[in-house]
């Protein structure tokens, strides 16, 4: 079974520290946790993060520990990723849900294992992922790349992120890349 503590370093590496890129639809972000996601999607209150208020620059105060708590509760545990047998597959799904949002990350996983793509990582999807074994990673890389292409086609301003998105789609860790950022 997969373990959160083996996956989280890869997520933190992919996400980096504090960013406030005007082209990023998530807005101000630290460790991949965006202010928009905290307020709009997760309903987290400032006090839950040890903050007085949500104002410009507040995400700089988010600790890595709090970010990891959010990732465990709202991404890893929410999708029962402990039930994925292959650690790389679980990490790949985790990374996709963080980068694309839970619904689309799960849909990509479902398309990769040819399960119904309802955006819910249930027992049928988990069984299909586990049955695929190592082939899941390559299929997931392709479904992620397709999703990123769709985002860019709908909003060409997002082409700015294409190189890193494609790299991320092909990587489970820095040691294993399927799709390289140059091709």
* Reported pTM: 0.88
| CA trace torsion 119, 120, 121, 127 (10° rounding) | -90
What confidence score (pLDDT) does residue 39 get?
Answer: 87
What confidence score (pLDDT) does residue 171 get?
Answer: 59
What confidence score (pLDDT) does residue 114 get?
Answer: 96
Assess contact for 148 and 169: CB atoms under 8 A. Answer: yes
Q: State how far the alpha carbon of 139 is from the alpha carbons of 64, 69, 92, 99, 162, in Å.
A: 31, 29, 11, 17, 19
Assess contact for 178 and 141: CB atoms under 8 A. Answer: yes
The string of pLDDT tens digits covering residues 50-82 is 888 898 999 999 999 999 999 999 999 999 999
The string of pLDDT tens digits covering residues 77-128 is 999 999 999 999 999 999 999 999 999 999 999 999 999 999 999 999 999 9
The string of pLDDT tens digits covering residues 8-36 is 999 999 999 999 988 888 889 999 999 98
Stretch 122-139: mean pLDDT? 94
Percent above pLDDT 90 for the chain = 72
SS (H, E, C) 143-175: HHHHHHHHHHHHCHHHHHHHHHHHHHHHEEECC
Domains of the chain, residue spans = 4-177
User: What is the spatial distance between Cα 149 and Cα 73, in angstroms, rounded to a whole number?
Assistant: 29
Does the pLDDT of residue 175 top 60, yes or no? no
Does the pLDDT of residue 176 top 80, yes or no? no
Q: Which CATH architecture has domain 4-177?
A: Up-down Bundle (1.20)
């Amino acid at each position: 079974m997969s373990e959160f503590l083996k996956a989280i370093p890869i997520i933190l590496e992919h996400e980096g520290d504090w960013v406030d890129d005007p082209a990023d639809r998530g807005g101000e972000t630290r460790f991949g946790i965006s202010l928009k996601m905290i307020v709009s999607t997760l309903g987290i209150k400032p006090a839950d993060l040890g903050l007085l208020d949500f104002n410009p620059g507040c995400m700089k105060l988010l600790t890595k520990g709090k970010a990891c708590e959010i990732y465990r509760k709202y991404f890893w545990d929410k999708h029962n990723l402990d039930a994925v047998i292959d650690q790389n597959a679980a990490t790949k799904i985790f990374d996709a849900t963080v980068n694309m949002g839970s619904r689309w990350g799960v849909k990509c996983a479902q398309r990769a294992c040819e399960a119904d793509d309802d955006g819910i990582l249930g027992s049928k999807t988990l069984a299909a992922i586990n049955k695929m074994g190592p082939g899941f990673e390559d299929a997931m890389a392709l479904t992620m790349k397709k999703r990123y292409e769709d985002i860019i086609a709908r909003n060409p301003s997002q082409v700015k992120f294409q190189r890193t998105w494609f790299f991320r789609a092909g990587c489970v860790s820095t040691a294993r890349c399927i799709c390289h950022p140059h091709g």
